[in-house]
Structure 1
Amino acid sequence: MVSRTQFHGDRAGVRKNGLRQKTLKRAIPCRGVGLHSGAVVEMTLHPAGADAGIRFRRTDVTGRDPWIAARYDRVVDTRLCTVIGNDDGVTVGTIEHLMAALAGCEIDNAVVDIDAAEVPVMDGSSEPFVFLIECAGTVELDAPRRAIEIRRPVTVGDARRGLTLAPAEAFSVDFEIDFPSPVVAHSTLDVRLVNGTFKREIAKARTFGFLEDAERLRAMGLALGGSLENTVVVDGDRVLNEEGLRFDDEFVRHKVLDCVGDLYLAGAPILGRVTATRSGHHTNNEVLRALFADPTAYAIVEMTDTAQAYAEALPATA
């Protein structure tokens, strides 16, 4: 298991050519509806110190530990979203869109205060969270930014549904989806998450669902906050949202978004290539557990300006 304590180092030894950790410049609040609960949620993003990582704090909880580390080994449910929890049974769900925004904006440390068990869905994408982060501003901390360098391939699942992490100089995702729906259908996207690519190409992609599943999900107490304002709804051979799609391939782009958010639960950026076939939250978490179970498959390294320059020189898409 990789913990934040393993990232600790001599702060005085931050090299001049090394990248530094970032946090928010100031706190910033937001308000929205939980996708599954339908409840109104108040959430505030706060700055945090070096090596703190991303942590959630349930402000509505009394008598139990309100803190939950945003870490792969704290994932307790992956059915329709990613849910993390602590030893006191306190949970926060639907964290993947916010985690993807934090990853895309290179926020290493933050505290997320939230008064409910679910992150607000906003418009179903990461774009509102990217906007919040940009409004708050970012600041560098006096500590090196570290990454998880993939040293050898790690695979979970199979050819039908699986995910592989492989060595690479920069973080990239090659994702394939295949649905029986004529609207969603088969689609692939190969994208390098460098030089602002996440904000331009991925952040706006919204979550999606099928009208035929809505009644079943609501009977299960799920998707109670889902609407055309926060979900791309597919009915047979058409999209019900009046404005249509934001991208021709918005469906696969959102799957990439989910994958980016889920993998940021590694506790640091990943230097490696992701190849995913019909992967979902469960598989995304499973590959992190497999990775950290094998100490020979990864190394914790400091991110340098040289590595960043190499990454930014790569084209955004393959």
Structure 2
Amino acid sequence: MEFHKQKTIKKTISIAGVGLHSGKPVNLKIKPSNPNSGIVFVRTDLKQDNIVIPHVNNVCSAVLCTTISNSHGVKVSTLEHLMGAFFGLGIDNAIVELDNEEVPIMDGSAKVFVNEILKSGIETTQSPIKVIRLNKKVEFHDGKKSISIEPSKINLEIDFELKYENKLIGNQRNRLLVYEDDLTDTFNSRTFCLFEDIEKLRANGLARGGSLENAIVVKDEKILNNGGLRNENEFVNHKILDCMGDIYLSGYKIIGKIVCSQGGHKLTNDLLRKVFENKENYSITEINEKNLPHTFFNKYLYKSIA
């Protein structure tokens, strides 16, 4: 396997589900794409101006999910779990077609997307990948929330901390080396909410498709879902999955170290915008065998997750 070469999927993937926030049914297809085309979303329910590119500057909302739009106002929302799957599996190029605005939530994690991609197979091309390297530390603060990214030689490290007053969630922290560690728990970790917030979310037109089938619901010190948690750090691991998906809106893999406390979609987007507003902050490097970091692959890339 040539890990420094661009990759796409081998066969078209078809997935049907419901939007977490809209509650509307959506059919999604992931198709192979050519080298250097990146990830492209196509709204097939629209006949024109229906191409939307996932890019940091195209984020139009980061409230409880990431939403991107094009210059015509056409949107694609809740794409972070799919983008996290692409990022973790090393998919550089793909066409994503969907017949509604929102990417289906599936079980609230990236598990279904990952397994379908692995089932399709991954096609390696002859084009070298490009990566973004940080030249200096960049940080962003919003009250008690903070996030930073700084140079690293060979990996993408995500060190994430969350703090909740709810005693069951409490304070959790985990550190992940994205190109080296087993990503199974990250891919499997579901979105979550507090029971007392559900009514407020729905009153604001959100979480209309939410259920115990696609989100962890915490009421006081009890998890309402049958079977409880999938892993002991599922809450913070889901935040790391979200971070991976949002980071991929940079357009390339990133080599650096991210430290985040109490962050989310908006904080990650704010950080990326700050990084890219100054070209001195970063450099884009084409990777070949001579300068390929030894960790720049994941040993679990081609193993289906339970």
Same fold, judged at TM 0.5 (above): yes
Residues 150 and 297, structure 1, Cα contact 8 Å, conserved in 2: yes
Q: Tell me how far 1:129 sits from its aligned partner.
A: 0.4
Contact kept, 8 Å, 1:147 with 1:301, in 2: the verdict is yes
User: Residues 311 and 54 of structure 1: is their aligned pair in 2 closer, same or farther, counting only changes over 3 Å?
Assistant: closer
User: One-letter code of the match for 1:209?
Assistant: C
Going from structure 1 to structure 2, the CA distance change for 1:182 and 1:175 (only over 3 Å counts) comes to same
**Counterpart selection for 2:28 from 34, 43, 47:** 43
- C-alpha contact 1:22 1:107 (8 A) present in aligned 2: yes
* 1:182-261 matches, cutoff 5 A: 182-195=167-180, 197-198=182-183, 200-261=184-245
- Helix, strand or coil: the match of 2:248? helix
Residues 144, 155 of structure 1: CA spacing in aligned structure 2 closer, same or farther, 3 A cutoff? same
Given the alignment of the two structures, is residue 58 of structure 1 paired with residue 60 of structure 2, yes or no?
A: no
d(CA) in 2 for partners of 1:311 and 1:27? 26
| 1:310 CA displacement | 4.2
Find the residue that maps to 1:216 and give its secondary structure.
helix
Name the SS of the counterpart of 2:294 in structure 1.
helix
The aligned amino acid for 1:34 is G
**8 Å contact 1:95–1:118 — kept in the other structure?**
yes
Kindly provide the CA deviation profile for residues 167-209 of structure 1, in whole angstroms up to 9, marking residues without a partner as x: 00211100000011111110100110123622x2310000001
Q: Which runs of 5+ in 1 are unaligned?
A: 1-16
| Structure 2 counterparts to residues 1-318 of structure 1, below 5 A | 19-62=4-47, 64-157=48-141, 160-169=144-153, 170-195=155-180, 197-198=182-183, 200-305=184-289, 307-311=292-296
**Contact 1:182/1:236, CA 8 A, preserved across alignment:** yes
Contact 1:21 1:50 in 2 (8 A): yes
- 1:303 deviates by 2.5
Contact 1:93 1:119 in 2 (8 A): yes
CA distance in 2, matches of 1:69, 1:205: 26
Question: CA 1:303–1:76 in 2, change beyond 3 Å: closer, same or farther?
Answer: same
Q: Distance in 2 between matches of 1:44 and 1:293?
A: 33
Q: Distance in 2 between matches of 1:250 and 1:196?
A: 16
Structure 1 residues 24 and 154: alpha-carbon distance in aligned structure 2, compared to 1, 3 A threshold = same
Mapped contact 2:181–2:298 kept (Cα < 8 A): no
- Give me the whole-angstrom Cα distance separating, in 2, the residues matched to 1:263 and 1:88: 24
Between 1:156-165 and 1:167-176, the stretch displaced more is 156-165
Q: Deviation of residue 307 (structure 1)?
A: 3.3
Q: Secondary structure at the match of 1:43?
A: strand
CA distance in 1, matches of 2:145, 2:265: 12
Could you say what secondary structure the match of 1:309 adopts?
coil
Q: Secondary structure at the match of 1:99?
A: helix
> Taking structure 1 as reference, are residues 313 and 105 closer, same or farther at Cα in structure 2, changes over 3 Å only?
closer
Rounded to whole Å, the distance in 2 between the matches of 1:192 and 1:262 is: 16
2-structure distance, mates of 1:181, 1:304: 47
Partner SS state of residue 263, structure 1: helix
Structure-2 change in CA distance of 1:245 and 1:275 (3 Å): same
Amino acid at match of 1:175: F
Q: CA deviation at 1:309?
A: 1.4
What's the secondary structure of 2:147's corresponding residue? strand
Q: How many residues align?
A: 296
How far apart, in 1, do the equivalents of 2:35 and 2:190 lie? 32
Please say if residues 139 and 148 of structure 2, whose CA atoms lie closer than 8 Å, have aligned partners that are also in contact: yes
C-alpha deviation, 1:136, in angstroms: 1.2
Q: Give me the identity figure in percent.
A: 38
RMSD over equivalenced CA pairs, Å: 1.7
Q: Which runs of no fewer than 5 residues in structure 2 stay unpaired? A: 300-306
Q: Write the distance in 2 (CA, Å) between the matches of 1:296 and 1:247.
A: 40
2:4 and 2:292 in contact (8 A); partners too = no
